[in-house]
Amino acid sequence: MRGGLELALACDIRIAASNAKMGLVETKLAIMPGAGGTQFLPRTINPSIAKELIFTSKIIDGKVADKLGL
């Protein structure tokens, strides 16, 4: 969880294990994700869910990511 989700969001194809952990945890420290995570995430999944993940710094696993369309 060191920018991996942001890197994955910039890719056309994303593959992750079901137990992989991911999230935009920088926002927990009041730091804006620097690699475009706040731009790519709402374009990739439902904007309402993207806002929840960004605002709460929620960490999700690979199964949840798959259900969300990541």
**Whole-number pLDDT of residue 25:** 80
Which ranges of the chain does DSSP label H, i.e. alpha helix? 4-9, 37-44, 47-56, 62-68
Q: How confident is the model at residue 60 (pLDDT cuts 50, 70, 90)?
A: very high
Q: Point out the catalytic residue in the list 6, 22, 24, 50.
A: 6
Catalytic residue among 9, 26, 27, 53: 26
pTM reported for the whole predicted model: 0.76
Annotation says 26 is catalytic: yes
pLDDT tens digits for 4-59?
788 888 889 989 999 999 888 877 777 776 777 788 888 889 999 999 988 898 99
- Three-state DSSP class for residue 24: coil
Q: Is 61 exposed, middle or buried (0-12, 13-18, 19+ CB in 10 A)?
A: middle
- 4-68 CATH, one of 3.10.290.10, 3.10.580.10, 3.90.226.20, 3.60.110.10: 3.90.226.20
Q: Is 6 a catalytic residue?
A: yes
